[in-house]
Structures are given as C-alpha cells and as structure tokens.
Structure 1
Amino acid sequence: MGEAKRRSIQGLPPKVIKPERGDKVDTSPRIASWLPLTRNQADRFVALTTKGAWVGIGALVLFWLTVRFIGPAAGWWTLSDG
C-alpha cells in the first residue's frame, strides 16, 4: 500500500513536502511585470558588482605600486622616465 493511499484511508491530510534549504522562493516584487527580475535579485547584483569594482580598484593600485616602486627597488626593471 502506498503512502498516499494509507494516509487517505486513515483520514490524514496529504503529506506536505518541505523545500530544501537551498530552494528558497523569492517572493519580492518584480522590477517590471514583463521583466523576470525581482528587487532582491537586482539588489544582489548591485552588491556583487560593487564588491567586484572595489576588488578591481585594489588590484589596479597594487599593480601600479608594483610597477612604479617595488619592481625598480628590487632591480627587476628600470623606469624609462627616471
């Protein structure tokens, strides 16, 4: 006898399947009715790209410091303007 049939014979309600931890349904409103993006998705995108921009700025500063100061001080190369 199957689970569904046993529950109906005993007068129990159907078994409710709980969503898994990773299956969260986004119930935030859409940005536009015709666009399949929600407000939460847009906020996460902005946060991710902002972090990515700061990482890029940090990498650029580190690269500039290496080219301008660390490389010549270590004798890896010489600057053409100095």
Structure 2
Amino acid sequence: MGEAKRRADQGLPARPKPAKAAPKDASPRIAPWLPLSQRQGEQFVQLTTRGAWIGIGALVVFWITVRFIGPAAGWWSLSDG
C-alpha cells in the first residue's frame, strides 16, 4: 500500500510538499554561455588578490632571509659582499 492510500485510509491529511529551494546564487551571469555568476567573479578577484599579497609577503620574507638572516647566522656567504 502506498503512502498516499495509507494516509487516506487513516483519515490523515496529505503530506505537505517540500518547498523548492531558492537558487544559492541569484546574481546574474557574467555571460549567458559562461556558468559563472557576477558574485562568483567578484569572489575570484578577492581570492586572487589575497593570494597575490600573500605571495608578495612570502617573497619579502624569503629575500630578507637570503640577504640578511642567512649570512648573519653563518649559513652561507654572499658572493657580492
């Protein structure tokens, strides 16, 4: 016996239908043929900008280590000085 028949036989109301979920990202598409929304494009720009700044910071730390910390600690000597 199906669920609908069982509920009808017992005098129960029909089971409520689940509400349709709203789309997760309702912002417009960048282009109709491109499956990316404008919000996703903005998130990508934010993420890559943050990654670039992290890379710049890592490069500065690496340069300071190679140029000053390593020679001062005696790990290596610079060829130009």
> Can you list the C-alpha shifts for 1:3-55, whole angstroms capped at 9, x where unaligned?
xx238x64446332586xxxx61111001111111011101100000000000
Correspondence list, 1:1-80, <5 A: 2=3, 5=4, 6=7, 10-12=12-14, 14-16=16-18, 25-80=24-79
| Alignment RMSD (CA, Å) | 2.3
Q: Tell me how many residue pairs correspond in the alignment.
A: 75
Q: Between the two proteins, what is the percent identity of the paired residues? A: 63
Supply the distance in 1 between the matched residues of 2:50 and 2:56 (Cα, whole angstroms).
10
Gap runs ≥5 in structure 1: none
1-structure distance, mates of 2:54, 2:75: 26
Where do 5+ consecutive residues of structure 2 fail to align? none
Structure 1 distance, partners of 2:66, 2:19, is 59
Aligned partners of 1:18, 1:74: CA distance in 2, in Å?
65
Aligned mates of 1:18, 1:33 — CA distance in 2: 24
In structure 1, C-alpha distance between the alignment counterparts of 2:60 and 2:44, rounded to whole Å? 24
Greater C-alpha Rg: 2
Rounded Cα–Cα distance in structure 1 between residues aligned with 2:19 and 2:57: 46
Could you list the structure 1 runs, at least 4 aligned residues long, displaced by more than 2 angstroms after superposition.
9-15
Q: Greater strand share, 1 or 2? A: 2
